[in-house]
Amino acid sequence: MTHSPATDILLQVALRAEAQPIIDGEALRPIGPVVAHCPAQAFANSVANRSVVLITHGSDPLHKCDRIGPIAAATTCAAAIARFHPRLIVNIGTCGGFQSRGGAIGDLHLAQRLAFHDQRVPIAGFREFARGETDAPHSDALRAELGALGGLCSTGGSLDATPQDRAILDELEARCKDMEAAAIALVARDWQVPLLVLKCVTDLVDNPEAVQDAFLRNLRHATMQLASATAALLRSNNLPW
């Protein structure tokens, strides 16, 4: 059996719209699906002498929309690790923020902790497993270099948040709410690959405006911010390896 060489950095980005400014900025070339006949797509180039592969989750063949959410995040991550053998995974994307904890549209976060706010199993032992709290270790120097805030990013399968989700997000003191990071962390931990989670706020979970309106209005600006932070990260001397 032949093994493909290790990739230095795997960038995992759910939405094509989030990925495009990074693909353009780093001149990443399409190299086809991550796995033959599956939707997730891969793009590659060498950046500052580092081999970089970016994967998107691809488009759902039935509903013709990008495959956001924790299920595609986990399956895509596992397939990409098996194929590309990355030394580091970086999950990049947009997130909700919390004005009650000082958050604002456009804030960048390099998450220090991850969890799930919509997985609840009130049975001893399973409670903590379902909550999935885990660290995303990196240096303060890297966070400062990217101009990012820290804190906890909590993952769930929904763009909106129910009152029970909101109560758990407050209990966790979440600074970001996304739909992928904690699922990717489970896979990265199994495969023992370090993970960074870089997010930019498009909407505020605790603001009365409908999340989808703020998300769509701020998506372009957030993706440009993510692309410039990613450019700095790819060239950084402060990576956790």
Chain residues in the site for ligand ADE (CB under 6 A): 94-96, 159, 177-179, 202-203, 205, 211, 215
Minimal distance in Å, beta carbon 105 to ligand ADE? 10
3-state secondary structure 160-211: CCCHHHHHHHHHCCEEEEECCHHHHHHHHHHHCCCEEEEEEEEEECCCCCCH
Closer by beta carbon to ligand ADE, 44 or else 71: 71
Minimal distance in Å, beta carbon 202 to ligand ADE? 5
Q: Are 92 and 16 in contact (CB under 8 A)?
A: no
Q: For residue 64, how many other CB atoms are within 10 A of its CB?
A: 7
Closer by beta carbon to ligand ADE, 8 or else 18: 18
Closer by beta carbon to ligand ADE, 31 or else 159: 159
Closer by beta carbon to ligand ADE, 26 or else 203: 203
Residue owning tokens 């399973």: 126
How far is the C-alpha of 148 from the C-alpha of 45, rounded, in Å?
25
Chain centroid to CA 54: 12
Minimal distance in Å, beta carbon 5 to ligand ADE? 33
Give me the residue whose beta carbon is nearest to ligand ADE.
96
Minimal distance in Å, beta carbon 211 to ligand ADE? 5
Closer by beta carbon to ligand ADE, 15 or else 188: 15
Minimal distance in Å, beta carbon 97 to ligand ADE? 8
Minimal distance in Å, beta carbon 179 to ligand ADE? 5
Q: Are 231 and 50 in contact (CB under 8 A)?
A: no
Closer by beta carbon to ligand ADE, 12 or else 202: 202
Q: Are 174 and 151 in contact (CB under 8 A)?
A: yes
**Residue 112 neighbours by CB under 8 Å, 6+ apart:** 135, 136, 137, 138, 150, 151, 152
